[in-house]
């Protein structure tokens, strides 16, 4: 029996599982961290393409099933734990893959962005709506803080979409496979400060930048031509320029 509370929707199309594994490891990978392996449908394909797979599964029963399914497979390490409580950087540089538990997609993405230089690449199955938010253009409804956050650390691409019927039991929404390629120029400290600024810009999405930022920058925000716009109208590069100008004028 699947546990809906844990987002258990098992993908049962070998062609899609193979495509996910191939996108995660186009060349043989030294290490893959798999999030939510469930019964090991994707794990099997990842083991064909990686020297070592660390599979993090919260459900004790499934973690046990997984160990039984791959007896004597020393290249597989099943970690029975909550992925959100597991520091993903502890194993060094890694590819991250998984058919995610959808109820925690956003916090998992944050953990992946935080990996910085330890992230080789991530290939993840998630709700199509979240996938669209990751790749949205400024000025569209899907564009928001998550878009900015993702694009600051990675280059997100939607690879293919997956109908609900491909899962057992089927989820209520369509899904999509996303590849996140890390940006090489990440400077963690600076990014942290910019992220705080971006979060303030998007705090009340329908309000202008003046409204969202006045409490932090006072009258200085009125000197910016963007003050009357909403954050969702600005690209990541434009938000970065605004941030730099406001910081310089302080």
Least distance (Å) between residue 72 CB and ligand SAM? 21
Q: How many residues does the chain have?
A: 250
Which one, 84 or 236, has the nearer CB to ligand SAM? 84
Closest residue by beta carbon to ligand SAM: 36
Which one, 139 or 170, has the nearer CB to ligand SAM? 170
Residues 116 and 188: beta-carbon distance below 8 Å: yes
Least distance (Å) between residue 7 CB and ligand SAM? 5
Residue tagged 């409580």 (tokens) = 85
Pairing assessment for the beta strands 167-168 and 10-11 based on DSSP bridges:
antiparallel
Residues 232 and 202: beta-carbon distance below 8 Å: yes
- For 7, which DSSP code? T
Least distance (Å) between residue 165 CB and ligand SAM? 14
Which one, 167 or 243, has the nearer CB to ligand SAM? 167
- Span between the terminal Cα atoms of the chain, in Å: 58
Least distance (Å) between residue 17 CB and ligand SAM? 7
| Interaction site with ligand SAM (CB under 6 A) | 6-11, 36-38, 41-42, 56-59, 62, 82-84, 99, 101, 104
Least distance (Å) between residue 116 CB and ligand SAM? 21
Residue tagged 């705090």 (tokens) = 203
Which one, 56 or 148, has the nearer CB to ligand SAM? 56
14, 126, 134, 157, 177 from 52: Cα distances, Å: 21, 24, 29, 25, 22
Which one, 78 or 213, has the nearer CB to ligand SAM? 78
Which one, 66 or 224, has the nearer CB to ligand SAM? 66
Q: Which are the contacts of 144, defined by CB distance < 8 A and separation ≥ 6?
A: 133, 136, 202, 205, 232
Least distance (Å) between residue 219 CB and ligand SAM? 46
Residues 66 and 57: beta-carbon distance below 8 Å: yes
Which one, 39 or 241, has the nearer CB to ligand SAM? 39
Least distance (Å) between residue 15 CB and ligand SAM? 13
- Joined together, the tokens standing for residue 35 give 């999030």
Q: How far apart are CA 54 and CA 29, in angstroms?
A: 12
């Amino acid at each position: 029996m699947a546990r809906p509370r844990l987002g258990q929707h098992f993908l049962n199309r070998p062609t899609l599982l193979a495509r996910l594994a191939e996108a995660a490891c186009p060349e043989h990978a030294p290490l893959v961290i798999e999030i939510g392996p469930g019964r090991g449908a994707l794990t099997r394909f990842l083991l064909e393409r990686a020297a070592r797979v660390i599979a993090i599964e919260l459900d004790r029963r499934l973690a046990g099933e997984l160990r039984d399914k791959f007896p004597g497979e020393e290249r597989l390490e099943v970690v029975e734990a909550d992925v959100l409580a597991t520091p993903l950087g502890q194993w060094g540089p890694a590819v991250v893959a998984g058919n995610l538990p959808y109820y925690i997609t956003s916090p998992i993405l944050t953990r992946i962005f935080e990996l910085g230089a330890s992230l080789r690449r991530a290939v993840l199955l998630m709700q199509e709506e979240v996938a669209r938010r990751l790749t949205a253009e400024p000025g569209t409804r899907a564009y928001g803080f998550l878009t900015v956050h993702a694009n600051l650390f990675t280059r997100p691409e939607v690879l293919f979409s997956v109908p609900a019927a491909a899962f057992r039991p089927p989820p209520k929404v369509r899904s999509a496979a996303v590849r996140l390629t890390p940006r090489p120029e990440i400077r963690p400290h600076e990014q942290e400060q910019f992220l705080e600024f971006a979060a303030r810009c998007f705090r009340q999405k329908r309000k202008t930048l003046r409204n969202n930022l006045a409490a932090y920058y006072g009258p200085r925000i009125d000197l910016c031509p963007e003050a009357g716009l909403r954050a969702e109208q600005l690209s990541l590069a434009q938000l970065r320029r605004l941030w730099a100008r406001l910081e310089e004028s302080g």
